[in-house]
Every structure is written in structure tokens, then in C-alpha cells.
Copies of this chain bind each other. A is one copy, B any other.
Amino acid sequence: MFPYSSGNYQIPNPNYRFIPQGQYYNPYSEPPQRLTFVLVHGSWADVHFWDGVAAVLRSQGNIVYTPEYAGHGTDSNKKVTHAMITKSVVDYIKQLNLHDFILVGHSFGGTVIQKVSEQVPDRIKRLVFWDAFVLKDGESLADELPPQTRQGFEELRKMSDDDTIMLPFETFRALFVNTATTNDAKLFYASVAPEPAKPLFENLDLKAFYALQIPKSYVYFFQDNVLPQGEGYGWNPHMSTRLGLFRLIVGDGDHFTDTRTRPAYLAQKIYDASRD
């Protein structure tokens, strides 16, 4: 959990003392760091999930990449594996020869950045998980679902003729966009496509991931309703603590809504998790 390299030890400056200013501190007075982001979306989404956040981050001088992956977006082939999805992102990173970037994963995207980081660890400056799955070695995403949710996913999977899962509107509305207005919930749902089921049930070998020394952060939004937050389930602390030493950033939002309604707020939280 602790990095012990003596290089981290800075000489304390005993002359530094805080002088109260009598007013709230303005975090924007410090020139922002310019970073490179690679944003990896989750299930029932495509790269347009990040449109709002990427626009805000770019407007503040950051460089932002949003790779699509197998079985999503314009890829009509739904018969994909977790390895194919990982390969999509790794290939994207290698072809563009990206280095020193913040690799952000949302939801299922957490499992993707776990596997991507095993393959290109030296290119990554920091891993940021936003309400994202952090699987233990050997687990599948489905192993982190409460029994009722897992059973629901399995039944939906059986109902499909191409091994996908399509969320009914009521399920999506209650779990993914619970804070949205009625109209926004419908607009979100209009862009939801059936999700390839297999990658959600594949057990992942993550031994290499847990040996990596890349800095890590976890962004947790406290209105997220995809998983219960406690009683053996949930984003934080249940899965976040598997990261060992990590920076925590907490925000007020749910699983999807703020990407469209408050992209600047979400972008700020991701930036707070990403800066040095």
C-alpha cells in the first residue's frame, strides 16, 4: 500500500504557515495542469457517452481520446469477448502511440482498463475508476452483482437471440439515470443498444494488474444506484479498496445522468482525481 522510495521524502519547510484569508479559497487561481485523457466507457453506451465531458476537458486545454471497442458503437458484431474489447483499446493506444496519459474507466470500463493496463503499463500516468468495477483476480463482473440483479441479467440474456442483454426502460431508469428528468431519461434510453453478454460473465486473470505500480484514483458518485453501496457490494469502499493506495474523490450524481446534464461538474471531478 505504501510507496517507500526515499525520493518521495521532501524536506519539511518549517517556515510555511497558513495565513487565513478570511474568505473561501479559489481553486481556479492555481493554473490548471494540462493532461492527456483516454476515456473508456461502460456497458449500454458508446463513445458518445463522453461527448460532454470530453468537450469540457478539451476546452480547458487537455487532450482527450475516446476509443470505441469491439461490439459497441458502429461495430455490428455482438459476438465479442473481453479480450477483444481490451485489444480494441490497446491497439488504439499503440496506433496513436499515446504516452503519459490518464486512463479513465467507467462502470464495465473499469474491467477494461484493468486488462489494458496489464499490456501497456509504461504508457499510463494514472488509472482513474469512476463508479467502475475493480475485479479481484479470477472474478467476472457478474460476480459483483447482488443475486437479484445477476439473475435478472441472466434471464435477459436468455431472452435474446444474439447473446446480448437489453435493459428494459424501467430498469435503466431506476438504476442508471435515477436523478434525471423524465424527458432526459427517455433521451438517454433512446441511445441504449443491446450489450454483448459474454464479457460480463467472463472470469478475468488479473494477477498482472495487482502487481502494477501505477498511481490510482477512484471517483465515487453517491447517487449511483447500479449497485447497493454496502452489505458486501458496491463501488466504494467495497471495490475501490482493492486498488490499495488510491486517491478518493466523491461527487453528487448517478451512473449516467451527469455526463449530459452537468458535464463540467463531472469533468472537474475526473480532473481532481487525475492531477498530480
How long is the Cα–Cα vector from A205 to B273 in the complex, in angstroms?
40
Category for how many chain A residues contact B? 35 or more
Closest Cβ–Cβ distance, residue A251 to chain B (whole Å): 9
Binds B, one of A105-113, A128-136, A149-157: A149-157
B275 near A182 with CB under 8 A, answer yes
A10 near B190 with CB under 8 A, answer yes
User: Can you give 15 contacting A-B residue pairs, CB < 8 Å?
Assistant: A1-B149, A1-B151, A2-B171, A3-B171, A4-B168, A8-B168, A16-B191, A17-B48, A17-B191, A27-B261, A171-B245, A178-B249, A179-B272, A223-B250, A248-B254
How long is the Cα–Cα vector from A236 to B223 in the complex, in angstroms?
11
A168-210 vs B: 1/0 string, CB under 8 Å? Answer: 1111011100110111101101111100000000000000000
Q: Counting CB contacts under 8 A, is A62 at the interface?
A: no
| Copies of this protein, total | 3
B9, B174, B245: which contacts A166 (Cβ < 8 A)?
A: B9
Q: Counting CB contacts under 8 A, is A229 at the interface?
A: yes
